[in-house]
Amino acid sequence: MVETGEILEREIASGGTALHDLAYNAANAALPDEPCSICGGGTGQRAEPPQIGPGATPCNGCNATGKTRPFQTWYPFSVDNVKEFAGFLAASGGFEIC
């Protein structure tokens, strides 16, 4: 059976991981900002915590801009992260997800 770390190393060496990195990050960069769910996307002013919605306090969810990046963009991808994970797999001696 081929180990996951070996598969990742081959994918890195083939350039496939770098291509995915470029495509994933380009797609995320092209996504438009979304209205902030904390202040309602209006003026960037929110209600007093723990309330949400418009208010008089600068919104910490969007840095008072009224916009946030889409949820999908919160999960970065890079060749370096894959290399690090492949190294972890090689050093770990293996594990099972049951």
Domain ranges of the chain: 1-31+71-98, 33-68
CB 70 within 8 A of CB 34: yes
What is the predicted pLDDT for the residue at 44?
92
pLDDT in tens, the chain (98 residues): 468 889 999 999 999 999 999 999 999 999 999 999 999 888 899 999 888 889 999 999 999 999 999 999 999 999 999 999 999 988 887 677 77
